[in-house]
C-alpha cells in the first residue's frame, strides 16, 4: 500500500494534534527516547508555496521537555546545505529566548535532516553530530561541574549544545532493513510500510497517511506536489548531464590540440595514442579532421 510522502504529510497532516503520534513515533525511534510533542511551532513548511524551487519542507516541534526539534526534508541538492542546517539551529535559538532572559534559558535544539541527495562525502546513510570540548594536551572531554549537572539536569556539555542528525534517505538500500530506524527510512524512500515492520508510529502512518483516504481536493494537491518533485528531479539530472558534457567537451578540446601538436612534431601515432590513453583510430580521426578543416 503506497502512503503519502512524509514531506507532504508534514506540510498538511502531521501538524494536526490527532496525528502527532506519527511524528512522535519517528522521533522516539531516532532519538532512542520517548518523545511527546507539546506543540508545533511556526516554520517554512507552514507556507504552501507552489513556486518554491527547492521544495524544502520543515517542521519545528517543541516537546514536553521544552526542547526544540527541527525536522527538514530536502529533495534537491544544495551545496551550502551544511551552512543552512547551522543557520536553522542558530535562528531557533535566538527566536525562542526572550529579551533579558539569562543564557540558561537557551533551548536545546535537535536538528534532523532527511536528504534525498548525497550530502557531503561518507559511506553511511545516518550521521549524528554533537559538540564536545577536547583537551589539547590531556585529550580529556570537558564535562559539566556537579553544580551544573544538578541545576540544569544535564549529564554533559553536549546535552546543552545543538545536535544534528542527517539521514540520507536517497542512498538507503531498501534491501537491507536491520532495525526500527531502517524501517522508518525504508518508508521515507519507498512510501511503503511492510507488514513485518514494528517501529513506533509506522502502524499509525499506515492508517493516517493512506492516499486513498484523501479527499478529491487533497489528492489533486498531493499529485501536483509529486509532479513538481518529478520535474525538479528531471531538471537536476539534466543540469548534471549538461555539466558533464561541458567537462567532456573541454577535455576533448585539450586532447585534440595535444594530438595535433604531437603529430606536427612527427610523434608516431602509436605513441600519441598510448600517451593520451586513447585508441589509434581516434588519433587518426583527429589528424584527418584537422588536415581537412
| 3-class DSSP assignment, residue 156 | coil
At 54, the pLDDT band (50, 70, 90 cuts) reads very low
Average pLDDT over residues 26-54: 74
Strands ordered across the beta sheet of 126-129: 37-41, 57-63, 68-74, 109-115, 163-168, 126-129
pLDDT at 68: 96
Do 26 and 183 touch, CB atoms closer than 8 A?
A: no
- The rounded distance, in Å, linking the Cα atoms of 272 and 267 is 7
> Residue 14 pLDDT > 50, yes or no?
yes
Average pLDDT over residues 66-89: 91
Q: Which of 178, 216, 226 is nearest to 198 (CA)?
A: 178
**Whole-number average pLDDT of the chain:** 87
Number of Cβ within 10 Å of residue 235's Cβ equals 12
Q: State what percent of residues in the chain have pLDDT above 70.
A: 89
At 249, the pLDDT band (50, 70, 90 cuts) reads low
Average pLDDT over residues 236-253: 70
At 36, the pLDDT band (50, 70, 90 cuts) reads very high
pTM: 0.76
Helix (H) or strand (E) holding 70: strand 68-74
pLDDT at 75: 84
pLDDT at 55: 46
Amino acid at each position: 500500500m503506497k502512503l503519502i510522502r512524509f514531506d507532504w504529510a508534514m506540510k498538511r497532516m502531521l501538524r494536526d494534534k490527532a496525528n502527532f503520534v506519527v511524528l512522535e513515533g519517528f522521533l522516539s525511534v531516532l532519538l532512542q527516547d520517548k518523545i511527546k510533542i507539546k506543540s508545533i511551532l511556526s516554520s517554512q513548511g507552514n507556507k504552501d508555496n507552489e513556486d518554491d524551487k527547492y521544495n524544502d519542507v520543515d517542521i519545528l516541534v517543541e516537546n514536553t521537555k521544552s526542547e526544540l526539534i527541527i525536522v527538514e526534508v530536502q529533495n534537491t541538492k544544495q551545496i551550502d546545505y551544511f551552512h543552512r542546517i547551522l543557520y536553522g539551529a542558530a535562528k531557533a535559538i535566538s527566536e525562542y529566548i526572550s529579551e533579558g532572559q539569562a543564557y540558561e534559558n537557551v533551548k536545546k535544539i535537535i536538528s534532523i535532516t532527511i536528504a534525498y541527495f548525497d550530502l557531503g562525502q561518507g559511506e553511511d546513510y545516518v550521521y549524528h553530530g554533537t559538540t564536545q570540548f577536547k583537551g589539547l594536551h590531556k585529550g580529556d572531554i570537558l564535562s559539566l561541574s556537579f553544580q551544573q549537572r544538578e541545576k540544569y539536569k544535564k549529564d554533559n556539555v553536549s546535552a546543552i549544545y545543538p545536535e544534528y542528525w542527517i539521514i540520507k534517505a536517497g542512498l538507503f538500500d531498501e534491501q537491507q532493513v536491520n532495525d526500527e530506524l531502517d524501517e522508518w527510512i525504508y518508508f521515507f524512500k519507498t512510501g511503503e510500510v511492510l507488514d513485518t515492520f514494528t517501529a513506533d508510529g509506522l502502524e499509525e502512518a499506515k492508517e493516517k497517511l493512506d492516499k486513498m483516504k484523501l479527499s478529491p481536493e487533497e489528492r489533486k494537491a498531493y499529485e501536483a506536489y509529486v509532479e513538481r518533485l518529478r520535474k525538479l528531479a528531471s531538471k537536476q539530472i539534466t543540469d548534471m548531464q549538461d555539466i558533464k558534457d561541458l567537462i567532456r567537451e573541454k577535455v576533448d578540446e585539450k586532447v585534440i590540440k595535444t594530438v595535433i601538436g604531437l603529430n606536427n612534431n612527427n610523434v608516431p601515432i602509436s605513441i600519441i595514442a598510448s600517451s593520451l590513453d586513447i585508441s589509434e583510430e581516434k588519433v587518426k580521426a583527429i589528424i584527418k579532421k584537422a588536415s581537412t578543416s
